[in-house]
């Protein structure tokens, strides 16, 4: 297959007027990414996006842990669509890959088995008195950023370029299985050559670096992470990916799915604590970014106050330095009224020898 | 089996093993999705019943990596979902160590959904149950009231924003959806079968001790 074959899978992405559905995982681990996404759309791009307080989890993690039945999740999803209709919108954008996969799967199931669509309508009406229409456009929030990537490039304060050397930053991406493996035609670039993140990186001056396990799962595996006894599965699969990308010496990892972003960040901590291995330069980890963080940094958002990147386990400062971003190191651990709230205990992955010394001297 | 995922997921498997080759669960466990699809395809009731009581059907991570690669357009991951649903309906899940973990999933993710409207919330990710979350998560957990409101004015309150409090009316709608569509029934059946099994295993019932047992036990015989 040719390198350009992503163009065989071009999906339509609405240009404006989005109904925004938050993600359980993203709002937990990357609330700054959700905040900045809304700001990029609204303030930087002048688009209209609605942040509805009434929607809930799609229940997708429960569905893929098999405790939530198919008919139940169908009806919960139908309720989200009804809320979108009631708010006067028809373009649905979801901040989560698990949800996005579910929306694509259910829309396809309803098309193929119309009796299930009828049943869902009936269930929703009985349970809530609501009715719904199928969205005109369904996009993951990364699709929306991808769609506006050139406009973002024009407004950017900096590029994904190493400020010391002038070379493009080396970026590895991880797409998240449910983005395009369920319905390849619903993802930019399909499942073999997903282009949604690579397109952003290229438009913003970085260089995408290939690695052998690029399409491998991050290892979430739902019940395989959620139940403590099974976590070996999860860390083993992340380990496989990290081992495979490390020789490429990436400057950072960018992820599509909030779960993958969290796992590739946290498992680097665990692997370092368990066996002393670190994958980044200078004995530290490889910073893992969400695409909102990547977009936010080039647009000039503050890494702490806006993007909340202090919530990562792997320190992002080496990357901020490479990008030539000026930031206040002391502002990293401030609470909401600007007061210092103490900092996390140092860990091997952070390579914080000073902290370790501090602890020893104390 | 009437599950649409069975219709969608399986037709004329030719046993090529491509699904097994790309499967992250097969890389980790003694697990072979090709074989599961092959057993289901035989429609041999006895063999299928055995499968429903087995460890194997609980290894899959539902990543769906098998779906785009199968030359016959099958999705072993969907077949697994259908088998798991049936295993829980019939109470067979408690016959395997990995199957018994469904109680832990119901009590964490399942109960979170009906209690908060979300699959997870920061206060439920307790560092002692999640040592792998690291030192930064512990810091966030200890200072959630200082950290989250910087990114969401509605943290734990009404309004729009990350981790806003889900209103009672919305939670009530969710509950009614679960009641009408079999979600509540599924939760109840997981609890009921687990309670019976717990007693058989010498616990007083599916109490906290049994929960911790299924959440942490690993016989290490899965690889
Ligand atoms: S890839 Fe498809 S045809 Fe091949 S063994 Fe798996 S399910 Fe059967
Ligand atoms: S969905 Fe399950 S069977 Fe298919 S590749 Fe993923 S883990 Fe393997």
Q: Which of B45, B76, B92 is the last residue of a domain?
A: B92
Which chain A positions have a beta carbon within 8 Å of B144's beta carbon?
none
Q: Does residue A108 sit in the same domain as residue A75?
A: yes
Which residue reads 């010496």 in tokens?
A: A249
Q: Which of A125, A141, A157 is the last residue of a domain?
A: A141
Ligand 1 pocket residue status of B18, Cβ below 6 Å: yes
Q: Does residue B184 sit in the same domain as residue B118?
A: yes
Chain A interface mutation, best of B23, B30, B61, highest count of A Cβ atoms under 10 Å? B61
pLDDT digits (tens, 9 = 90+) for A69-127: 999 999 999 999 999 999 999 999 999 999 999 999 999 999 999 999 999 999 999 99
Q: Could you give the ipTM of this predicted complex?
A: 0.96
Ligand 1, atom nearest to B15 Cα: 5
Q: Does residue B64 sit in the same domain as residue B110?
A: no
Q: Does residue A17 sit in the same domain as residue A125?
A: yes
Residue A117 backbone dihedrals phi, psi, to 5 degrees: -65, -45
Q: Does residue A241 sit in the same domain as residue A107?
A: no
Q: Does residue B88 sit in the same domain as residue B122?
A: no
B65 CA from centroid of ligand 1 (Å): 12
Compute the distance between CA of residue A185 and CA of residue A228 in angstroms, rounded to an integer.
Answer: 35
The predicted model gives B144-154 an average pLDDT of 96
> For the domain that residue A172 is a member of, what is the CATH number?
3.40.50.11810
**A166 interfacial to chain B (CB closer than 8 Å):** no
Q: Which of B40, B60, B92 is the last residue of a domain?
A: B92
Among A123-137, A188-202, A239-253, the least confident range = A188-202
Tell me the CA end-to-end span of chain A in Å, nearest whole number. Answer: 60
Is B180 within a domain?
A: yes
pLDDT band at B12 (very low <50, low <70, confident <90, very high): confident
User: Chain-centre distance of CA A39, in angstroms?
Assistant: 16
Provide the 8-state DSSP code for A161.
B
Could you say which of A65, A236, A270 has the minimum Cβ distance to residue B132?
A270
Enclosing domain of residue B171:
99-216
Q: Which of A120, A141, A162 is the last residue of a domain?
A: A141
Q: Which residues contact B56 (CB under 8 A, 6 or more apart)?
A: B31, B36
Q: Do B135 and A178 touch (CB under 8 A)?
A: no
pLDDT band at A354 (very low <50, low <70, confident <90, very high): very low
Compute the distance between CA of residue A85 and CA of residue A62 in angstroms, rounded to an integer.
Answer: 25
Provide the 8-state DSSP code for B106.
I
Could you say which of B101, B122, B176 has the minimum Cβ distance to residue A229?
B101
A84 CA from centroid of ligand 2 (Å): 33
Q: Do A123 and B3 touch (CB under 8 A)?
A: no
Identify the bridge partners of residue B155 per DSSP, sorted by sequence position. B164
**A331 interfacial to chain B (CB closer than 8 Å):** no
Q: Which of B58, B76, B92 is the last residue of a domain?
A: B92
Residue A359: predicted pLDDT = 41
pLDDT band at A5 (very low <50, low <70, confident <90, very high): low
Q: Where are the beta strands (DSSP E) in A166-211?
A: 170-174, 207-208
Ligand 1 pocket residue status of B26, Cβ below 6 Å: no
Which residue reads 């942040």 in tokens?
A: A51
pTM (predicted TM-score): 0.94
Could you say which of B145, B180, B187 has the minimum Cβ distance to residue A127?
B180
Q: Which residues contact B77 (CB under 8 A, 6 or more apart)?
A: B9, B33, B60, B62, B63, B64, B66, B67
- How many other CB atoms are found less than 10 A from the CB of residue B206? 24
> For the domain that residue A51 is a member of, what is the CATH number?
1.20.1050.140
Q: Does residue A130 sit in the same domain as residue A228?
A: no
Q: Which of A141, A171, A190 is the last residue of a domain?
A: A141
| Tokens standing for residue A97 | 């890959």
Is A361 within a domain?
A: no
Q: Does residue B196 sit in the same domain as residue B125?
A: yes
* Number of domains chain B contains: 2
C-alpha closest to that of A66 among B7, B123, B98, B216 = B98
| Tokens standing for residue A284 | 């530290």
C-alpha closest to that of A351 among A284, A252, A267, A268 = A284
Is A306 within a domain?
A: yes
Q: Does residue A162 sit in the same domain as residue A130?
A: no
Is B223 within a domain?
A: no
Q: Does residue A75 sit in the same domain as residue A165?
A: no
Q: Does residue B81 sit in the same domain as residue B126?
A: no
Q: Do A65 and B109 touch (CB under 8 A)?
A: yes
Which residue reads 């899965």 in tokens?
A: B222
Is A7 within a domain?
A: no
Compute the distance between CA of residue A284 and CA of residue A321 in angstroms, rounded to an integer.
Answer: 14
Interface of A with B in 273-302 (CB under 8 A): none
| Tokens standing for residue B190 | 């997981």
Compute the distance between CA of residue B175 and CA of residue B187 in angstroms, rounded to an integer.
Answer: 12
A221 CA from centroid of ligand 2 (Å): 9
What would you report as the CA-atom Rg of chain B, rounded to the nearest whole angstrom? 20
The predicted model gives B110-118 an average pLDDT of 97
B87 CA from centroid of ligand 1 (Å): 23
Q: Does residue B104 sit in the same domain as residue B77?
A: no
Is B52 within a domain?
A: yes
| Average pLDDT score over chain B | 95
Ligand 1 pocket residue status of B80, Cβ below 6 Å: no
Task: Please tell me the total number of residues recorded for chain B in this structure.
Answer: 223
pLDDT digits (tens, 9 = 90+) for B36-54: 999 998 888 999 999 999 9
Is B222 within a domain?
A: no
Please check whether residue A324 is in contact with residue A158, taking contact to mean a CB–CB distance below 8 angstroms.
yes
Chain B interface mutation, best of A9, A27, A285, A310, highest count of B Cβ atoms under 10 Å? A27
Chain A interface mutation, best of B31, B75, B111, B136, highest count of A Cβ atoms under 10 Å? B136
Q: Does residue A40 sit in the same domain as residue A164?
A: no
Q: Do A313 and B137 touch (CB under 8 A)?
A: yes
pLDDT digits (tens, 9 = 90+) for A297-306: 999 999 999 9
Is B73 within a domain?
A: yes
Is A362 within a domain?
A: no
Enclosing domain of residue A339:
148-356
Q: HSE on the CB side for A167, CA within 13 Å?
A: 8
* Number of domains chain A contains: 2
Compute the distance between CA of residue A178 and CA of residue A158 in angstroms, rounded to an integer.
Answer: 31
Which residue reads 């681990």 in tokens?
A: A29
Q: Which residues contact A50 (CB under 8 A, 6 or more apart)?
A: A18, A19, A20, A87, A89
Could you say which of B140, B150, B170 has the minimum Cβ distance to residue A336?
B150
pLDDT band at A165 (very low <50, low <70, confident <90, very high): very high
> For the domain that residue B8 is a member of, what is the CATH number?
1.10.1060.10
Residue B11: predicted pLDDT = 81
pLDDT digits (tens, 9 = 90+) for B163-215: 999 999 999 999 999 999 999 999 999 999 999 999 999 999 999 999 999 99
**How far away is chain B from the Cα of A67, in angstroms, using its nearest Cα?**
6
Residue A4: predicted pLDDT = 52
Q: Does residue A206 sit in the same domain as residue A329?
A: yes
| Average pLDDT score over chain A | 92
Residue B43: predicted pLDDT = 85
- The SS3 of residue A46 is coil
Q: Does residue A126 sit in the same domain as residue A29?
A: yes
The predicted model gives A181-201 an average pLDDT of 86
């Amino acid at each position: 297959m040719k390198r350009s074959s992503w163009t065989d899978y071009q999906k339509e992405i609405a240009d404006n007027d989005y109904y925004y559905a938050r993600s359980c995982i993203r709002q937990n681990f990357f609330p700054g990414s959700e905040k900045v996404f809304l700001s990029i759309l609204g303030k930087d791009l002048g688009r209209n996006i609605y942040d509805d307080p009434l929607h809930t989890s799609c229940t997708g993690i429960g569905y893929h842990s098999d405790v939530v039945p198919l008919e139940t999740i169908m009806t919960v999803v139908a309720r989200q669509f009804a809320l979108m209709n009631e708010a006067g919108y028809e373009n649905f954008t979801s901040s989560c890959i698990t949800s996005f996969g579910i929306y694509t799967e259910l829309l396809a199931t309803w098309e193929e088995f119309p009796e299930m669509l009828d049943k869902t309508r009936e269930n929703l009406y009985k349970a809530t008195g609501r009715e719904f229409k199928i969205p005109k456009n369904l996009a993951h929030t990364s699709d929306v950023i991808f769609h506006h990537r050139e406009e973002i490039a024009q407004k950017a304060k900096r590029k994904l370029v190493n400020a010391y050397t002038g070379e493009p930053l080396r970026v590895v991406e991880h797409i998240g299985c449910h983005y395009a493996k369920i319905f390849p035609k619903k993802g930019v670039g399909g499942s073999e050559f997903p282009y949604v993140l690579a397109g952003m990186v290229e438009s913003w001056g970085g260089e995408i670096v290939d690695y052998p396990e690029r399409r491998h799962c991050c290892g979430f595996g739902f019940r395989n992470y959620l139940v403590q006894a099974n976590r070996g599965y999860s860390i083993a699969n992340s380990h496989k990916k990290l081992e495979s990308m490390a020789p490429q010496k990436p400057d950072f990892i960018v992820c599509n799915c909030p779960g993958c972003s969290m796992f590739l960040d946290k498992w680097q901590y665990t692997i370092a604590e368990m066996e002393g291995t670190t994958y980044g330069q200078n004995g530290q980890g490889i910073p893992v970014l969400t695409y909102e963080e990547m977009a936010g940094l080039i647009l000039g958002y503050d890494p702490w106050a806006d993007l909340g990147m202090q919530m990562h386990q792997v320190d992002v400062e080496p990357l901020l330095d490479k990008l030539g971003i000026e930031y206040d190191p002391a502002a990293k651990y401030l609470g909401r009224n600007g007061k210092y709230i103490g900092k996390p205990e140092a860990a091997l992955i952070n390579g914080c020898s000073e902290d370790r010394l501090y602890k020893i001297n104390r | 089996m009437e599950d649409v995922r069975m219709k969608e997921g399986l037709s004329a498997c030719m046993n090529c093993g491509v699904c097994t080759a790309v499967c992250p669960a097969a890389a980790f466990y003694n697990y072979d999705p090709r074989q599961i699809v092959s057993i289901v395809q035989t429609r041999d009731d006895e063999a299928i019943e055995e499968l429903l009581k087995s460890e194997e059907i609980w290894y899959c991570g539902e990543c769906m990596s098998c779906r785009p690669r199968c030359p016959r357009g099958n999705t072993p991951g969907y077949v697994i979902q259908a088998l798991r649903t049936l295993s829980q309906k019939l109470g067979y899940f408690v016959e395997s160590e990995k199957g018994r973990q469904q109680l832990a999933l119901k009590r964490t993710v399942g109960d979170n959904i009906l209690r908060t409207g979300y699959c997870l919330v920061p206060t439920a990710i307790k560092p002692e149950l999640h040592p792998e979350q690291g030192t930064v998560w512990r810091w966030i957990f200890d200072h959630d009231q200082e950290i989250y409101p910087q990114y969401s004015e509605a943290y734990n309150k009404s309004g729009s924003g990350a981790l806003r409090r889900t209103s009672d009316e919305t939670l009530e709608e969710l509950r009614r959806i679960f009641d009408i569509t079999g979600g509540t029934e599924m939760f109840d059946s997981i609890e009921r079968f687990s309670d019976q099994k717990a007693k058989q295993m010498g616990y007083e019932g599916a109490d906290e001790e049994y929960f911790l047992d299924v959440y942490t036990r690993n016989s290490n015989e899965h690889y």
